[in-house]
Amino acid sequence: MKTITVLSRKGGSGKTTLAVNLATMAFLAGHKVLLADMDPQRSASDALRARQEPGPALAEITAGKLFMTKSNAMREDYDFLFIDTPAAPEADVAQAVNVADFCLVAGRPSFLDLAPIVRTAEAVRRLGKGGLVVLNQAHTNRPEVAPVAFPEIMEALRFCGLPLAPHGLRSREAFQKAMAHGRCVVEQEPGSPAARDLERLWAHLEAQVSGLGETPMRTVLTA
C-alpha cells in the first residue's frame, strides 16, 4: 500500500481538491483506495458523501488515529491511502507526513503562497520524506507553460527541497462542479482541459510512487 499525504500550511491552497481528485483517479484506475480526512472541517468527507457512484472509501480521523487507520488499511489490502490534512496544527500534520510514503505540497503560484510552500516542503524534507510540490489554481491564460507560474516563483521553488510536479492544475470551474458531486474532473467533464491536467498529474504521481519502497511504520516496542 502507498500512503500519500496532501498538505500545505496555507489554507485554501487546494489540498482537498487534490486529495479527492487524485484518490478518485486511483479508484478509477482499478485500485482499492481509502481517503482519510484529517481536517476537522471535513471538506473531503462532504465531497465523497455527495458521490452517487462507487468510489474511494472514506475515514474521518484525527491525528491520533493515523497509525491505526494505516495499519487497518494495510490489513484490508488497500492499494492507496490518501490523507487530506488541515493547514494547522503543525504537529498533527507532521504525524501525517511521518506515516506517508510520499507527500504532495499544494500551493497556488502566487507571491503570498510562495513562502508557505517553501516552508511546508522544507518540513517534509526535514522529516525525511519525499514528494512533490503541486501548483494549483494556476492562471489559464498561458497554456504553453505547464504548470503556469511566474518565472520568479518557478525559480524560488527550485530551492524548496522538493521537486515541482511537471503538471499542475489550472483554475477551472470544473473542479468546483466536480467537488459538489464528489467526483473528479475526469468523470465530471471528460476530455476537458481540467480533465487533461488531472490525467497528466495522476500519471506522473502513479509513476513516482510505483517505484517507491514502502515506508515501514515506526513502532516503538519497549521490553
Q: By CB under 6 A, name the binding residues for ligand ATP.
A: 8, 11-17, 39, 41, 43, 87, 106, 136-137, 169, 171-172, 175-176, 179
CA distance 121 to 8: 8
State the burial class of residue 30 (Cβ atoms within 10 Å of its Cβ: 0-12, 13-18, 19+).
Answer: exposed
Nearer to Mg ion, 16 or 120 (CB): 16
Nearer to ligand ATP, 84 or 101 (CB): 84
136, interface contact from Mg ion, ligand ATP, none, CB < 5-8 Å by kind? ligand ATP
Nearer to Mg ion, 16 or 208 (CB): 16
Strand-by-strand arrangement of the 102-107 sheet: 57-60, 33-37, 80-84, 2-7, 102-107, 131-135
The grid coordinates of residue 132 equal: 512533490
Footprint of Mg ion (CB under 5 A): 15-16, 43
14, interface contact from Mg ion, ligand ATP, none, CB < 5-8 Å by kind? ligand ATP
98 contacts 108 by C-beta, under 8 angstroms = no
188, interface contact from Mg ion, ligand ATP, none, CB < 5-8 Å by kind? none
The grid coordinates of residue 139 equal: 492562471
Nearer to ligand ATP, 102 or 175 (CB): 175
CB of 112 to Mg ion, least distance (A): 18
CB of 138 to ligand ATP, least distance (A): 8
Nearer to Mg ion, 40 or 166 (CB): 40
Query: Alpha helix locations (H) across 5-79?
Result: 15-28, 43-49, 66-75
Sort strands 33-37 and 57-60 into parallel, antiparallel or unpaired: parallel
